[in-house]
Amino acid sequence: MTAKQWIRSVHASCAVFVRDVGNGLLEVSHNGLALVGLAVVATAVFVGSHADMRRGLETAALDWLQERHEARAERDGNMLIALAEPDAIARATASDPSELPRQQAKIASWLSRRYQVAPEPLSRLVKEAWTVGQRAQLDPTLILAIMAVESRFNPFAQSPVGAQGLMQVMTHVHDDKYEPFGGNHAAFDPITNLRVGVQVLKECIARAGSLEGGLRFYVGAANLADDGGYAAKVLGEQGHLKQVAQGRQVAITVPQAPLVLPARPPESFDAPVLPVPVAVPEKVARAF
């Protein structure tokens, strides 16, 4: 064999070797990718069939992305973005006024202008008053009138004797009613305060046997000769709301009945309880 033939033979052998190695690597790569693909599909099917695991992975991924976003914002000196909470809107007590039924929308608009409160949170309160009022069999305009007189729709209002929130419920007297909502601090959640206040009002009306008498109990004037004009003021405001609901034009500056608050907090009472499906409180509703 000549040197030239030997060289050709070596080249051919090397070519065969390289070709065989390349084909082997290609086959292994294809098989490996196929295995990876099968593993990914199997994992996706497994995770997809387990909702808890899927939510956990999604939460972990979102938390990781949020942490990276906040870290980058803080590094750049933008603390507003670093402290951002995308879910904060879920805590907002607000709704779109345009989504309310016509009657409720009119009342929300009128109350917003009369008490200089934003229409979005008022719309949410009006909607809740209708929902809770229906369940409690109380006129929603009465509930809204009480909030107007009690707090002027200030969810953080507090009287000198400790009545708190939109409907000025005596939190320390009715702390048991706040337990299902997480405790007494829920008194400053507008929706919770509304619901608890309606429950208290319902009990007061049941105890007194009439709406006017229930309002006297609610304000803490059950044992006083005069409620200071409280019932008249609430019912007067309710009358305005009913007119607005009927489509009548009511000026936002309509006068309110003068109110002279009771001079002392309420005391326990022993009036007979009417047969209504609500619990009877051991003490009166609240006091200023």
CATH number of the CATH domain containing 225: 1.10.530.10
Evaluate whether residue 59 is within a structural domain: yes
Closest alpha carbon to 120 in 109, 128, 129: 109
In terms of domains, do 104 and 77 share one? no
Give which of 177, 176, 100 is closest to 131, Cα–Cα: 100
* Residues 237, 104 share a domain: yes
Q: Alpha-carbon distance 111 to 120, whole Å?
A: 11
Give a yes or no: residue 260 inside a domain: no
Distance CA 127, CA 100 (A): 7
- pLDDT classification of 176: cutoffs 50, 70, 90: very high
Same domain, 33 and 134: no
Chain-centroid distance of CA 82 in Å reads 24
Greatest Cα pair distance, the chain, in angstroms, is: 134
∠ CA(85), CA(86), CA(87), 5° rounding?
90
- State the residue range of the domain holding 77: 3-82
Q: Which of 17, 50, 82 is the last residue of a domain?
A: 82
Residue 77: pLDDT over 70: no
Q: What is the pLDDT, as a whole number, of residue 3?
A: 65
- Do 200 and 136 share a structural domain? yes
Beta-bridge mates of residue 175: none
Among 79-83, 108-112, 200-204, which is the least confidently predicted range? 79-83
Does the pLDDT at position 286 exceed 50?
no
- pLDDT of 84 strictly over 80: no
**120-141 tens-digit pLDDT:** 999 999 999 999 999 999 999 9
Tens-digit pLDDT profile for residues 220-267: 998 888 899 999 999 999 999 999 999 999 999 987 766 555 543 443
Q: pLDDT tens across 1-24, in order?
A: 676 666 666 666 666 665 765 565
Number of domains in the chain: 2
pLDDT by residue (tens digit) across 95-107? Answer: 999 999 999 999 9
Statement to judge: residues 148 and 224 lie in one domain? yes
